[in-house]
Amino acid sequence: MPYVNVKVAGELDREQKKKIVEGITKLLEEVAGKPPSATYVVIEEISRDNWGKSGKLLSDK
């Protein structure tokens, strides 16, 4: 049972989330032979105020 956790900075719309879930599920089926019914994908939207890179918050860019 694959479990994939995707973390993104900021928010995605419903269509973007749908495409991500479909794409990851399809990739695991094609590459690893995992059935779609066994694949879980969780998308976590992290506020840019709560994510940093290179010593700076992403919201400061």
Q: Could you read off the pLDDT tens digit of each residue along the chain, which spans 61 residues?
A: 999 999 999 999 999 999 999 999 999 999 999 999 999 999 999 999 999 999 999 999 7
At residue 19, the pLDDT reads 98
| Straight-line distance from the first to the last Cα atom of the chain, in angstroms, rounded to the nearest whole number | 38
CATH number at 13 reads 3.30.429.10
At residue 61, the pLDDT reads 75
Is the overall model pTM greater than 0.85, yes or no? yes
Q: What is the domain range of residue 22?
A: 3-60
CA 31/CA 13 separation, integer angstroms:
27
Active site residue 36: no
Q: How many domains does the chain have?
A: 1
Catalytic residue among 1, 2, 9, 19: 2
